[in-house]
């Protein structure tokens, strides 16, 4: 299933459930994406629980459902895997996550500008003079 890893990152609603059979290399069968996930969960039920928690978190964040996200954090049962540390990190940073869910503001534009500046520095292999670097940054923006 390594070659089909992207289906585990998809939302459950976006999975192909009854059409578009695909060949699974490791299984050598024609299956829908939902059937392939079902086979993996039958073999590894703990992974199925982690994936379900992941889906609930993603759905709450995508729908900007703060009460649903809070329910997930408070009613999560410890499974003894990496999802436990992710949930504890969410609980520790709850105030910031709450702000990002309830607010319409994003730092995407600032992050894009930072990425362009870092890419410029990487491609140029450094500038001898700081004024030249600042001049080049002003040209980009």
For 49-58, how does the pLDDT look when each residue is reduced to its tens digit (9 = 90+)? 999 999 999 9
Measuring CA to CA, which residue among 40, 44, 45 is closest to residue 5?
40
What integer pLDDT is reported at residue 126 of this predicted model? 79
What integer pLDDT is reported at residue 3 of this predicted model? 67
What integer pLDDT is reported at residue 2 of this predicted model? 64
| Residue boundaries of the structural domains of the chain | 2-102, 108-140
Separation between Cα atoms, residue 49 and residue 41, nearest integer Å: 8
CB atoms within 10 A of CB 24: 19
For 81-111, how does the pLDDT look when each residue is reduced to its tens digit (9 = 90+)? 889 999 999 999 999 999 988 988 888 999 9
| Spans of the chain below 70 pLDDT | 1-3
What integer pLDDT is reported at residue 15 of this predicted model? 80
What integer pLDDT is reported at residue 32 of this predicted model? 83
């039920």: which residue's tokens?
45
């Amino acid at each position: 299933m390594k070659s089909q890893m992207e289906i585990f990152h998809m939302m459950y609603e976006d999975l192909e459930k009854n059409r578009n059979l695909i060949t699974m290399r490791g299984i050598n069968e024609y299956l829908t994406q939902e059937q392939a996930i079902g086979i993996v969960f039958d073999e590894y039920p703990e992974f199925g629980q982690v994936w379900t928690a992941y889906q609930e978190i993603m759905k709450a964040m995508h729908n900007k459902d703060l009460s649903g996200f809070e329910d997930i954090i408070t009613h999560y049962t410890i499974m003894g895997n990496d999802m436990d540390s992710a949930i504890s990190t969410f609980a520790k940073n709850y105030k910031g996550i709450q702000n990002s869910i309830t607010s319409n503001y994003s730092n995407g534009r600032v992050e894009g500008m930072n990425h362009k500046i870092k890419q410029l520095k990487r491609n140029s292999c450094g500038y001898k003079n700081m004024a030249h670097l600042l001049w080049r940054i002003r040209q980009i923006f």
